[in-house]
């Protein structure tokens, strides 16, 4: 049986953005540091979906935790990479940004049965606000709760 990995919406502090104070992406955590990251990067005229694998997730300077939204079997990671390429990336659209892309991706993955049913904007934003508070108080954030150090 294939191992299952948590899927989280991760948030990162950003500065000098016209309307957002945090960047969001979707992350599959194999370990506290080994992560498959799916995100939209750039600005309104250069947005692009950029999947990547990183090996220092919990040590990222601007990481402010995240919100667990589901899990995926190890043998479905390649499928997930291809599936998330189907999420539209809109350029020159003022209402589109990384938050919009994440919600569109979550809707698609919810329909596929990969993420939990409660991926509402209200729940995600509320949980990420709590995560920010946990981070500010030096409490465990999602990656630390998912992969506790003994």
As a whole number, mean pLDDT of residues 54-71 equals: 94
How many other β-carbons are positioned within 10 Å of the β-carbon of residue 97?
A: 20
- Range(s) of the domain holding residue 119: 4-146
Query: How is the beta sheet containing 22-29 ordered, strand by strand?
Result: 52-54, 35-38, 22-29, 4-13, 63-73
Q: Record the pTM.
A: 0.93
Any idea which of 24-28, 68-72, 118-122 has the lowest mean pLDDT? 118-122
Residue 18: pLDDT above 70?
no
Report the number of distinct structural domains present in the chain.
1
Residue (of 89, 100, 95, 104) closest to 46 by Cα position? 89
pLDDT of residue 98: 93
């Amino acid at each position: 049986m294939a191992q299952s990995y948590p899927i989280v919406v991760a948030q990162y502090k950003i500065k000098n953005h016209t309307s957002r104070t945090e960047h969001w992406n979707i992350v599959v955590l194999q370990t506290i540091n080994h992560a498959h990251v799916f995100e939209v990067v750039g600005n309104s005229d250069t947005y692009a979906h950029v999947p990547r694998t990183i090996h220092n997730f919990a040590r990222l300077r601007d990481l402010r935790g995240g919100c667990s939204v589901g899990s995926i079997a190890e043998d479905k990671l390649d499928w997930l990479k291809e599936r998330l390429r189907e999420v539209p990336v809109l350029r020159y659209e003022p209402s589109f940004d990384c938050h919009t892309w994440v919600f569109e991706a979550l809707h698609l993955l919810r329909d596929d049965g990969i993420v939990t049913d409660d991926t509402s904007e209200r729940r995600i934003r509320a949980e990420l606000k709590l995560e920010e508070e946990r981070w500010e108080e030096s409490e465990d954030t999602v990656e630390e709760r998912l992969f506790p150090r003994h």
